[in-house]
């Protein structure tokens, strides 16, 4: 046996003063566990917010939250967030139609209305009304759009204008299945079934 080896550390000393390396490792992993939990929580919140925005078709805002989630500590969430970022970018870079005339805005607005992309539909229908202020069918579509958004006053204003331009629009609204859920809402009800009719 070689007696030149270092003497063993006494038991008592080991218990009171654990090796420095071990203490540092344990301390830092405890510290990382404490900081990882809030990071995970934030990452999950960002991801959930991003998914909600994505499904609401608000791709620019969704991408921003996905970017935050992509740098968080949970690798599975980060990976999925990066995939969503690519999907957001694809949707943002799609060539959306660029309508120029009132009828093109109207047609695109109707397509968006049918997809229930109501804010976008209203923008295009509003532009169609600006370009063609005497087009009753445009105001009728705007009435539907506002009604689907729960703005019955706005729907009533647009429907009233459509009827002023084309009185037969009143009977159309009575029979139109799209209007069936709206015709019983004031003031639409009073416009569609005025007193005396």
- pLDDT digit string, tens, across residues 70-128: 998 998 999 999 999 999 888 887 767 889 999 999 999 999 999 999 999 999 999 99
Gap between the Cα atoms of 167 and 137, Å rounded: 12
Whole-number pLDDT of residue 8: 45
Gap between the Cα atoms of 103 and 183, Å rounded: 26
Whole-number pLDDT of residue 123: 95
The helix/strand/coil state of 151 is coil
* Contact (Cβ atoms closer than 8 angstroms) between residue 97 and residue 108: yes
Look at 26-40, 83-97, 140-154, 181-195 and tell me which has the smallest mean pLDDT.
Answer: 26-40
Distances (CA, A) of 130 to 105, 147, 149: 10, 20, 21
Whole-number pLDDT of residue 90: 85
Top-ranked range on mean pLDDT: pick from 35-49, 119-133, 175-189:
119-133
- With a CB cutoff of 8 Å and minimum separation 6, the contacts of 172 are 140
- pLDDT above 90 as % of the chain: 59
pLDDT at 26 over 90: no
Whole-number pLDDT of residue 197: 59
Gap between the Cα atoms of 92 and 192, Å rounded: 40
pLDDT digits (tens, 9 = 90+) for 134-167: 999 999 999 999 999 999 999 999 999 999 999 9
Averaged pLDDT, 164-176: 94
* Contact (Cβ atoms closer than 8 angstroms) between residue 84 and residue 50: yes
Comparing 39 with 97, which gets the higher pLDDT? 97
Q: Where are the alpha helices (DSSP H) in 56-151?
A: 59-70, 75-93, 102-114, 118-131, 136-148
Whole-number pLDDT of residue 23: 38
Whole-number pLDDT of residue 95: 66
Whole-number pLDDT of residue 92: 84
Whole-number pLDDT of residue 196: 55
* Contact (Cβ atoms closer than 8 angstroms) between residue 112 and residue 121: yes
Burial tier of 168 (Cβ tally within 10 Å: 0-12, 13-18, 19+): exposed
Mean pLDDT, the chain, integer: 82
Comparing 4 with 106, which gets the higher pLDDT? 106
């Amino acid at each position: 046996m070689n007696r030149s080896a270092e003497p063993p550390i006494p038991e008592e000393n080991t218990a009171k003063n654990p090796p420095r390396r071990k203490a540092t490792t344990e301390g830092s992993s405890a510290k990382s566990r404490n900081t990882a939990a809030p990071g995970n929580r934030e990452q999950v919140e960002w991801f959930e917010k991003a998914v909600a925005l994505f499904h609401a078709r608000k791709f620019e805002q969704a991408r921003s939250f996905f970017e935050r989630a992509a740098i968080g500590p949970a690798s599975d969430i980060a990976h999925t967030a990066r995939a969503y970022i690519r999907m957001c970018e694809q949707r943002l870079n799609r060539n959306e139609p660029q309508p120029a005339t009132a009828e093109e805005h109207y047609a695109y607005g109707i397509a968006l209305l049918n997809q229930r992309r109501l804010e976008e539909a209203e923008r295009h229908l509003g532009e169609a009304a600006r370009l063609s202020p005497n087009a009753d069918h445009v105001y009728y579509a705007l009435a539907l759009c506002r009604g689907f958004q729960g703005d019955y006053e706005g729907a009533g204003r647009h429907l009233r204008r459509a009827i002023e331009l084309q009185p037969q629009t009143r009977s159309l609204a009575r029979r139109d299945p799209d209007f069936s859920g709206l015709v019983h809402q004031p003031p639409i009800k009073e416009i569609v079934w005025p007193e005396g009719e």
